[in-house]
A and B are shown apart, each in its own frame.
Chain A
């Protein structure tokens, strides 16, 4: 079963690479770089430290932004659990924040926070915040009232209910939120770098395009994709550990979401 999946994945990868190679031969390496050139350049950049230099920058932005945006996004629904009116008042603004094309704010953030790392972190934080907020909120709302009643009968305080019932119950939703947010976090960082930066994967894309070096553009995109995969793998690992109480079937179904 597992074997079969890996084999088929490899097959799909080969087909994609073949199509890419075919397209490159047809259009010319100038327009569409070839897989082989990308791979060579990728490993060269990996070994000469260039990749670590740029990707490390992008990863730091994504991590810092995810923490700064994600932590309040997780805490807020818990703090507001007993304040449904406040949640209702905030709702249209939150939906607005969620729906607004935040990448379009990138130039503004650069104006406000400068061309350094701060503006990129701010953009990632804004993107991550709304995704994680709504996911956590849905987890807090899906709470089983009978479990809360059971705890209250036993004598649990409001705080204990939050800690022992609401929080563990919302953990799956929190993980789901972060997992959805990962590509947006990396994407946000890359876009912000594209606009103005002298470092990072976005900078590689930008200079590559300027020099008509499609290989470099693809190398940067490949790196970003690998980073997203790695982030999600780490999240999955944490989830598997924290949610080991769940029936195996449920974990498998959740896995299909990745």
Chain B
């Protein structure tokens, strides 16, 4: 974990523009600082409405920052100007958003292939990789379904592999497994850990499930509610490879859980 961090957030602040007839806009995020090392899997826990999605939007460069700095791989990227933003930082930051944002006029397979099509890297090898990912998240047989014909959880899985398929070095994930039943979720978490152990992506994983944050993360950040700040940072020294379904039984789990629990209001 030594060396220069992949991502540095320094004194980040965010408030949305004022609207006529409303009191001055509140700070949604204020004075937030943290770092993410290359190859780290950082989890962020926070109550609903804390500003987790807003934070990821700012990192993904689709939302402006009102104050502070963000340094990605040595490059200063934060800006209060919408025009100065580069969404996805030239494909280096992938973003699995809270809403699936699948294109309703494309089938599952065409949605998954969409990034490759746009990036001009669609070939047989890429198709095979997409097909493999579809199988890995249990969507085999649903390739030709349109999004409205899939369940909420299936749509989220499709959105997840749409980002994995083009292999960006850093991936932001906003509660990707929230709409999935417990068994499938455990399965997906294990799959994610396996993929991550192979490729060592840098991942920021937002969730409000404390167990999930512990099972996946190298480290967990806890956010405060309004304005969002870092309430606490919890290292998760549980050795890898981890068995997600037995995570409760790992030594140290109970203590970390209790610690995070106490910090989440």
Contacts and interface: CB of A to CB of B under 8 A. Distances in A.
B114 A146 contact: no
Interface stretch (A41-49, A64-72, A135-143, A147-155): A147-155
Interface stretch (B101-109, B125-133, B173-181, B207-215): B101-109
Interface residues of A, number: 19
Interface string A236-255: 00000000011100000000
B106 A153 contact: no
Interface string B156-174: 0000000000100000000
B94 interface: yes
Interface string A166-177: 001101000000
A80 interface: no
B118 A156 contact: yes
Nearest to B92: A155
Given A153-B94, A155-B115, A155-B119, A165 B103 contact: yes
Contacts, number: 56
A153 B91 CA distance: 7
Contacts of A150: 95, 97, 101
B118 A164 contact: yes
Contacts of B93: 153
Given A146-B97, A160-B118, A164-B118, A155 B103 contact: no
A-B pairs, top 3 by smallest CB distance, nearest first, are A153-B88, A152-B87, A150-B101
Given A154-B91, A164-B103, A245-B105, A149 B115 contact: no
Main SS of the interface on chain A? helix
* Size category of the binding interface on chain B: 20 to 34
Contacts of B103: 147, 164-165, 168
A153 B118 contact: no
Contacts of B115: 154-155
Interface of B: 60-62, 87-88, 90-91, 93-95, 97, 99, 101, 103-107, 114-115, 118-119, 146, 148, 166
A225 B93 CA distance: 57
Given A149-B62, A246-B148, A247-B148, A154 B118 contact: yes
A179 to B, nearest CB: 19
Contact of B146 (A160, A171, A245): A245
Given A150-B95, A165-B103, A168-B105, 19 more contacts: A147-B101, A147-B103, A149-B62, A149-B87, A149-B101, A150-B101, A151-B118, A152-B62, A152-B88, A153-B61, A153-B93, A153-B94, A154-B118, A154-B166, A155-B115, A245-B107, A246-B104, A246-B148, A247-B148
18 contacts: A146-B99, A149-B62, A149-B87, A149-B101, A150-B95, A150-B101, A151-B118, A153-B60, A153-B87, A154-B91, A154-B119, A155-B88, A156-B118, A164-B103, A164-B114, A165-B103, A245-B104, A245-B148
A156 B88 CA distance: 10
Nearest to B147: A245
A160 B116 CA distance: 12
Contacts of A151: 114, 118
Contacts of A164: 103, 114, 118
Interface centre among B93, B99, B107, B118, by most chain A C-beta atoms within 10 angstroms, is: B118
A245 B104 CA distance: 7
Contacts of B95: 150, 153
Interface in A204-249: 245-247
